[in-house]
Chains A and B, each alone.
Chain A
Amino acid sequence: MRKCLSAEIYRCRRSTLFWLMLLASVLAGVFYGIVSMSGSFEDIFVVPLFVISAAFISLNTGREYTDNTIRNKIIIGAPKTAVLLSKLVFDVGTGVLFCAAFLAPCAIILSFGVLSKLPASVLCWTLTGLVLLSVVWAVLFTVVSMLTSAKGVGGIINFVVIIAVMLLAYQLESILRQPEFINTTEHSMVQMTPEEVKQIQEGTYQGSYSDATDENGQVTYYKPVLTNTEQKPNPKYVKQPLRGILTHLDSMLPNGQMNEYVSCLYHHAVVASEAEPFDDYPRLKTFPLYSCLDILLLSGVGLILFRKKEIR
């Protein structure tokens, strides 16, 4: 595996594609830094980093099949396990490098503004989380690219997966953020007092009202008055055990984690100032474990399937 890896690094240094993607990561980081200066930290603007990683890995691995150079590794006796593992290690390395190239300019730009408001613990957890997410995506893209022999098909599948995961994460977030109870209110309309009618006529009345004109042309004003407030169970609230399952699924999805990270950053950059970070975001500490689980699962599936793959 070490030999395969050193050969990959040698090739990468000479690859125009690699340097272009590295530059693209820097530019994406600059852009993200600029749009995040207000503290919004929109997760949609982190997606280009993963698109860059997908493009590089798909094209770089796909070329091995187009040029048939993957054969050389197997013909000289390298086991398929070693071939895939070396590819995984290499692609994870490039994914982390792209992530670092993205974060560096972003950090420099944000240091002039919102970065000082973020507690060190939040920054550490978020950075660690983002690096791990880069690793998860790199492993997924590598497995897909190594299993699909066609360069274009691998790239398309990777891009579709990015979008699908993003949409699934948004949907899960929407479901999980539903409150358990919702307030229902009842109102009745009562006639307004002469003072209130005078305010309406003067245009100084604040609040909602309605008027009714009778057959004699006399206008009567009414205002809504709250008569009953009740808390009812929210029909859209998902109960256990399904809630637990969806929470775990959301935690396993890279974009599910990303949503939580950017929410935490936004909270501390704009809303809160001294609140203990993880009181409101307890899941953040579990995300590295989920990322590790993702990496193990994807690598395991990739190894099993690649060993059975027939190379032409």
Chain B
Amino acid sequence: MDYVLTTNGLGKRYKHFQALNDLTMHVPKGAIYGFVGKNGAGKTTLIRLICGLQDPTSGEYTLYGKRNTDKDIIKSRRRMGAVVETAAIYMDMTAEENLKYQYLLMGIPSFNGIPELLKLVGLENTGKKKAGNFSLGMKQRLGIAIALAGDPDFLVLDEPVNGLDPQGIVEIRELILKLNRERQITILISSHILDELSRLATHYGIIDSGKMVKEISAEELEAACRKCTRMEVSDTAVLARALDSMNVEYKIISATAADVYAKVNITQLTVALAKENCEVLSMQERDESLESYFISLVGGADHA
């Protein structure tokens, strides 16, 4: 699999505080990677490191195959755009002027692409309004437009919907999906709002106290959070035969446990199992929400 960004044992220490600790992650090309963690987990610190704003204390990362210590990393950086924490815009300039400034900074000779970029983020009608007078959503969109100025294929967004109203959240979400689908831009989004990420992300990285707890794809996460009945029996082979005859979807967890995903007639099942001398030890309904899955992971990490 092609990875746009990989980190290997990345660490960052600020005086007496270890912000990142042996963090390893992989962002696949073309993915919308949801970087999930509590406040203070290390999400923004990681983003600062990969954007080159700060240097890691230990470990390394690669961007398009180039290590952070390579001089060629500059070429890789030109393929990415980022909005770190708040949108970095000049408040005393208009949206168009901000983009012209960015174009000059990047050495793009012509300003012809600016009207299309403004239209993409929904700021085509701002005219002579200074960025300082924009709403928070408009500022965020202008920040994204600036990040897109160099036509990047990797976009890093640090909590892009923070402080936005529901309308603003929907606009940003649709923009992100559009960028990923129409322009095949790989997107790394950090957030602590799981519900919002679940509508966007194709991959997840869950971070806690500077460490990566788990990396998981959206499909795997969906499977992990699916509603089911956990059954403990004396012989899962017998259980499997009984469930097959009932045309019920299931998954064997171990020699004595299985998850049953469909609604099943319990009396019928226990009678079928009893005929083959299989005992039912326990039955438990499981309905893992994204939050409970996340908390179980993060809480488990605390006790590890």
Contact = CB atoms under 8 A, between A and B. Distances in A.
B275 to A, nearest CB: 67
A163 interface: no
Interface string A143-178: 000000000000000000000000000000000000
Most central of A3, A7, A67, A75 by chain B CB within 10 Å = A75
B78 interface: yes
B78 A71 contact: no
Given A15-B92, A67-B91, A74 B53 contact: yes
Contacts of A246: none
Contact of A72 (B74, B80, B88): B88
Contacts of A311: 48, 53-54
Interface in A77-110: 77-79
A74 B91 CA distance: 19
B90 interface: yes
B89 interface: yes
A16 B92 contact: yes
A4 interface: yes
Given A14-B93, A67-B90, A7 B101 contact: yes
A301 interface: no
A4 B102 CA distance: 9
B52 A69 contact: no
A311 B54 CA distance: 6
A146 B80 CA distance: 25
Contacts of B150: 76
A280 interface: no
Interface string B29-59: 0000000000000000000100111110000
Contacts of B89: 67, 69
Nearest to B76: A77
Contacts of A69: 88-90
Nearest to B146: A72
A75 B54 contact: no
Contact of B77 (A6, A7, A75, A310): A75
Contact of A14 (B75, B97, B106, B146): B97
Interface string A50-73: 000000000000010001111111
22 contacts: A3-B106, A7-B101, A14-B93, A63-B90, A67-B90, A67-B91, A68-B86, A68-B88, A69-B88, A71-B51, A72-B146, A74-B53, A75-B51, A75-B53, A75-B81, A75-B82, A75-B84, A76-B105, A76-B150, A77-B73, A311-B48, A312-B48
Closest 6 CB pairs of A and B: A77-B77, A7-B104, A68-B88, A77-B74, A311-B53, A7-B105
Interface of A: 3-4, 6-7, 10-11, 14-16, 63, 67-79, 310-312
Interface of B: 48, 51-55, 73-75, 77-78, 80-82, 84-86, 88-93, 97, 100-102, 104-107, 146-147, 150
